[in-house]
Chains A and B, each alone.
Chain A
Amino acid sequence: MNSVQRISAVVLRHWYLISHSLPRILELGYWPLVQIVLWGFIQQFIMTQSSYFAMAGGLLLGAVMLWDLLFRSQISLAISFFEEIYSRNLSHLLISPLRMWEYVVALMTVSIMRTLIGLVPVTFLAIWFFGFSIYSLGLSLALFFVSLVTFGWSVGLAVAGLVLRFGLGAESLTWALIFALAPLCGIYYPVTILPNWLQGLSAILPPSYIFEGMRTILLEQTVRLDLLAMAGVLNVVWLSAGIAVFFALYRSARIRGVIMQLGE
C-alpha cells in the first residue's frame, strides 16, 4: 500500500461523482461560459471606445480567464472537501490509512481536474467566438497557471480548515474570502490605481504580479520574469500558510471532538 494508491482512491471517488453526473459536468462549465460570453461582448464594445483596450484585444478576456482559473481552483478544492461533509463520509476517510498530507494532495489533484473540465472548453470557445486565444501567452501561461492555482489552493485549504473546525456555517467563506481579495489583485487594472495603503496589501498577493505579467505580455509583448519570480516566492509563503492553517484547524477539530458531528 502506498501514498499514490491512497491519493488516487480519493481522486477516483470524485471522478466517479463527476463523470457519472451530466448536471455536475455542465455546472462546472456553465459559470465560466457565462463569464466569457459576458466579458467577451463587453471587451468588443470597449475596444471600440478605448485606445488602451484596442491595443490588446484579449486584455479583458485574458484577465477573466486567469481570474476564473484562480477562483475555480480555490472553490474546487474547498467544494471537494465539502462533498465529504455533505455526504457524511469524512469520518470514514479520516479513519482510513489515508494520511492528512495525502488527503491534501488528493484535494489539489481533484481541484485541477474540476478546474480544467470547467475552463478548457471555454478557452476554445473564446478563440472561436471572440478571436482571443489564451494560449497566445505561450510558456508564460503554464507559469501563470501554476502560480494562480497554487494561490487558489492556499485560500481553499484555509477555508476547508475553517469548515472542519467550525462546521458548515463557515461554508460561505469559500466565496466571500476570494472575492474580498479580488479588488487587490489588479485583475482588470494595474494595482497602481489603488490607494497607497491598499497597494501595500496588493504587493503581498501573488496574483497581482501574475495579472500585471499578463498585461505586459499582451500590451508590450514582454515576459517579466521578475514578476513571475516574485509571485513564485509569495506563493511558497501563502501555500505554506494555507497548509499550516488547515493542519492547525484539523488538530483543533480533533481536540474539540467536532469531526464526528460534521454534516449532522
Chain B
Amino acid sequence: MDVVTANQAPGGVATNQIIGRSAPGGEANIRVQGLTKRFGEILAVDNINFSIAPGSFTALLGGNGAGKTTTIGMLLNLIQPTAGRIEILGQDFAHNTKSLLARMNFQSPYVDLPRRLTVRQNLAVYARLYGVADAKARIADLARGLDLEAFLDRPLGKLSAGQRTRVGLAKAFINRPDVVLLDEPTASLDPDTADWVRHYLARYARETNATFLIASHNMPEVERLCDQVLMMRAGRIVDRGSPRELLAKYRRNTLEDVFLDIARARAREGGTP
C-alpha cells in the first residue's frame, strides 16, 4: 500500500492530497475542494480539502461539533454547502447529484429504516429505489454475507440493536456502491460481530475497489480498518495521515491518545494544531 505523506500548510493545516492506496494517475473517488458550511454565525466546516483514492478506507475523526456530520451531510446532498466543490467518481456532485447517489450509499445508527417492515421488505424497497437487477438474489446474497437469513421475515423493530446495524449495512450495500459513507459502522455490535463486520467491509473494498469514508469514535477500529485518517476540529482538518504515521508523529501508542491530543489542541511536536 502506497501512502502519500501528509503535507502541512502554514499554520499546521494539512492541505489537499490524494490519500489512501495509490491509484493509477492519482485518481480519486472523492475529491473535496474548499468545502465550507456556515450556519449563520457558526462556521461548521471551514474550507476543507481532501481526496480519497479508490479502494481505500478513510476515517473522519473529531470530537462533537468538529464538523464530521456536516461534512458527511454535504457529501450526501442533505446539506447545501456554502462554498466549495465536491467531486465523486470524477464527476461534479452538484450537477450529477442523483446519478452519483445511485452509486453511493450510507449507513448510520442515527438514521433508521422503517421498523414495522420486515428486513426483507425494507431491502426490497431499497433494491427497487436503487434499481437493483435481480433484487431477490441480491437480498439473499446480502443475507448470507451479513448473517441475516434467520430473521429476514421479522419486523425490524423486533431485532436487537446489533441485528439492526447489520440490516443497515445490508441496505448500505444493496446497490453495490462504489462510494460508501458509514457513521459508526459497528455501533451496538459485540466485539466478535464487530470484527466480523470489519472483515466484511474489507473484503467488499478488496473485491469492488470501493471507497469508504467512515465517521467513528471507535479508535481501535479506525486503526485496524483505515488506511488514512482525517482529524477534524472546529470545522477544519487539523491533521491527516495513516494511523501509523499519526502515532509516530504524536509519539503515542494509541490513536485514542492522538485523538485526545488533537481534540484538546495540546501542543505537539512541530507546532500547535
B113 touches A1 (CB 8 A): no
Known: A1-B130, A9-B125, A12-B128. A92 touches B113 (CB 8 A): yes
Give chain A residues whose Cβ lies under 8 Å from the Cβ of B101: 95-97
A260 interfacial contact with B, CB 8 Å: yes
- Among A5, A20, A264, contact of B131 (Cβ-Cβ < 8 Å): A5
The stretch among A193-201, A221-229, A251-259 that forms the contact with chain B is A251-259
Known: A95-B77, A257-B39. A13 touches B112 (CB 8 A): no
- Cβ distance A247 to chain B, nearest Cβ, rounded Å: 13
Report the nearest B residue to A95, measured CB to CB. B76
A17 interfacial contact with B, CB 8 Å: yes
| Interface set, chain B 34-64, CB cutoff 8 A to A | 37, 39, 44
B160 interfacial contact with A, CB 8 Å: no
In whole angstroms, what is the CA distance A257 to B78 when docked?
Answer: 7
The stretch among A68-76, A83-91, A134-142 that forms the contact with chain B is A83-91
Q: State how many residues of chain A have any CB contact under 8 Å with chain B.
A: 34
| Interface set, chain A 30-73, CB cutoff 8 A to B | none
- Among B105, B108, B110, B116, contact of A17 (Cβ-Cβ < 8 Å): B116
B102 interfacial contact with A, CB 8 Å: yes
User: Is the interface on chain B under 10, 10 to 19, 20 to 34, or 35 or more residues?
Assistant: 35 or more
In whole angstroms, what is the CA distance A7 to B57 when docked?
Answer: 33
- Among A6, A89, A251, A259, contact of B128 (Cβ-Cβ < 8 Å): A6
Give chain A residues whose Cβ lies under 8 Å from the Cβ of B69: 260
A6 touches B129 (CB 8 A): yes
Give chain B residues whose Cβ lies under 8 Å from the Cβ of A99: 98
Report the nearest A residue to B121, measured CB to CB. A16
In whole angstroms, what is the CA distance A10 to B129 when docked?
Answer: 8
Chain A 170-189 near chain B by CB (<8 Å), digits 1 or 0: 00000000000000000000
Report the nearest B residue to A83, measured CB to CB. B114
In whole angstroms, what is the CA distance A233 to B172 when docked?
Answer: 44
Give chain B residues whose Cβ lies under 8 Å from the Cβ of A109: none
A98 interfacial contact with B, CB 8 Å: yes
A97 touches B129 (CB 8 A): yes
B128 touches A87 (CB 8 A): no
Give chain B residues whose Cβ lies under 8 Å from the Cβ of A6: 128-129, 131
Give chain B residues whose Cβ lies under 8 Å from the Cβ of A92: 106, 111, 113, 126, 171
In whole angstroms, what is the CA distance A92 to B115 when docked?
Answer: 14
A216 interfacial contact with B, CB 8 Å: no
B117 touches A91 (CB 8 A): no
B77 touches A94 (CB 8 A): yes
Known: A97-B99, A255-B80, A257-B44. A8 touches B128 (CB 8 A): yes
B216 interfacial contact with A, CB 8 Å: no
A21 interfacial contact with B, CB 8 Å: yes
Give chain B residues whose Cβ lies under 8 Å from the Cβ of A89: 111-114
Give chain A residues whose Cβ lies under 8 Å from the Cβ of B102: 1, 96-97
Report the nearest A residue to B124, measured CB to CB. A12
Known: A5-B128, A97-B129. A17 touches B114 (CB 8 A): yes
Chain B 74-102 near chain A by CB (<8 Å), digits 1 or 0: 00111110000000000000000011011
A259 touches B98 (CB 8 A): no
A13 touches B125 (CB 8 A): yes
- Cβ distance B67 to chain A, nearest Cβ, rounded Å: 11
Report the nearest A residue to B107, measured CB to CB. A92
6 pairs, CB–CB < 8 Å, chain A vs chain B? A6-B129, A13-B114, A89-B111, A97-B101, A257-B37, A259-B79
Binding site for B on A (CB under 8 A): 1-2, 5-6, 8-10, 12-13, 16-17, 20-21, 83, 87-89, 91-99, 251, 254-257, 259-260, 264
* Known pairs A1-B131, A97-B130, A254-B79 / 7 extra A-B pairs, C-beta < 8 Å: A9-B126, A9-B128, A12-B128, A17-B114, A87-B112, A91-B106, A92-B171
